[in-house]
Amino acid sequence: MAGRRGAERDSVSGVGIGLQLKVSRGDFTLECTLRLPAAGVTAVLGPSGSGKTTLLRVVAGLEYERDVFVSIGSTVWQEGRHFVPPHRRSVGMVFQEPSLFDHLTVRGNIEYGLKRVRKERRQVAFEQVVELAGVADLLRRKPQTLSGGERQRVAIARALAVSPRLLLMDEPLAAVDEPRRQELVPMIAAVQKALRIPVIYVTHATSEAAQLADHLVLLNRGRVVASGSINEMIGRLDLPLAQDRDAAAVVEARVCGYDPRYHLTELEFSGGRIMLVRQRLPAGESVRLRIAARDVSIALERPNASSILNVFPASVEALDEQEPGQVMVRLRAGQAAILARISRKSADQLQLVPGSSVFVQVKSMALVV
């Protein structure tokens, strides 16, 4: 495999996860060359039929295709004729439908993979995954008696129990109803943080990607539209990401204080201080805050009598009229990118142009673990 493909291959192997594939599927060809970080969550975002599931299956070794290169760290899982079968790849996979083994109890399901990993290779203990996934009460039950959300928790615990080097998740929350989804997203984030296993998370839901991802890959009709860290990507107004109704900025912050009288946790980020009404968090802990564009308003002067606690200075970087009358503004506060969705009339009245110094008011934000 000399020439161009070889050179591309060299550029993606080595550290992290290297992928290069060309797979024909029905009416499009999935073709991409990617280097993904060896840590954290990489979200692969795209509409249905964009090839994201195929991508995941190729990484897992479930699709045997010829023109594929997959490597993780210095281990090559597939290259030319060399093909490591799925049961020898150190991957854990969570499918869209939980697909639990009906003939086994929850405990049996979780232990299925665990048993097949040699003791010396086990990085994760049974009790650990059970606790992280919150399935301790379900161990004796049979899958048929569980709800959709519970089943998916078990599926996640089961995949983690094999101590994988890489966790693959194929739209795991698609078959789960909305309230359960709200519970499961933080759970997945917590699991990833606790076990430090890199995750490739495939989804078509922008909000899930924004909440979980450290790195984002946008896929459309088999091609990589864009790839980069979450901070770079959300600020890009040219991407469909910014068009989403739930478009939000993700800001890294550190806990620096707590006001017990008002139950306010104080956080510090590169653009200033933020206060959040919530229970106490350990001082010094790093968190991510999700600030939806619709919750941000802009003022030319710092408002002095307002119910909004979080106000900080920022400068306008870019504006994009998304729909007639509606404008998405990207602002920079310190090093953080903040998105604000305002009416065009306001943008004109405030005379906002790139470079304008303004004050940003954030009405509410969500804490992502």
Partner 1 sequence: MPSAADFEALVLTLRLALTTTVVLLVLGTPVAWWLAQTRWRFKFLLEAVIALPLVLPPTVLGFYLLMALGPQGPLGRLMNAIGGPSLAFSFTGLVIGSVIYSLPFVVQPLHNAFVALGRRPLEVAATLRASPWDRFFTVVVPMARPAFFTAVVLAFAHTIGEFGVVLMIGGNIPGETKVVSIAVYEHVEALEYAQAHWLSAGLLVFSLVLLAAVYAWNRRCAVMYP
Q: Which residues bind partner 1 (CB under 8 A)?
A: 60-62, 85-88, 91-93, 95, 97, 99, 101-103, 112-113, 116-117, 158-159, 162
CA distance 189 to 194: 9
Nearer to partner 1, 84 or 299 (CB): 84
Joined together, the tokens standing for residue 102 give 């009906």
Nearer to partner 1, 29 or 99 (CB): 99
Nearer to partner 1, 87 or 261 (CB): 87
Query: Least Å distance between CB 112 and partner 1?
Result: 5
Query: Least Å distance between CB 234 and partner 1?
Result: 31
Query: Least Å distance between CB 27 and partner 1?
Result: 20
23-26 — which CB contacts under 8 Å span 24+ positions? 23/51, 23/54, 23/58, 23/63, 23/65, 23/67, 23/68, 25/51, 25/54, 25/222
Residue carrying structure tokens 């296993």? 197
Nearer to partner 1, 117 or 175 (CB): 117
| Residues 63 and 51 sit within 8 Å (Cβ to Cβ) | no
CA distance 77 to 144: 35
| Residues 330 and 339 sit within 8 Å (Cβ to Cβ) | yes
Query: Least Å distance between CB 110 and partner 1?
Result: 10
CA distance 155 to 113: 11
Nearer to partner 1, 78 or 207 (CB): 78
* CB proximity list for 21: less than 8 A, separation 6 or greater: 30, 31, 32, 55, 58, 65, 67, 68, 69, 70
For residue 134, give the nearest of 151, 122, 121 by alpha carbon.
151
Query: Least Å distance between CB 116 and partner 1?
Result: 4
Query: Least Å distance between CB 250 and partner 1?
Result: 30
Residue carrying structure tokens 């509606």? 326
Query: Least Å distance between CB 220 and partner 1?
Result: 26
Nearer to partner 1, 161 or 342 (CB): 161
Nearer to partner 1, 162 or 249 (CB): 162
* CB proximity list for 2: less than 8 A, separation 6 or greater: none
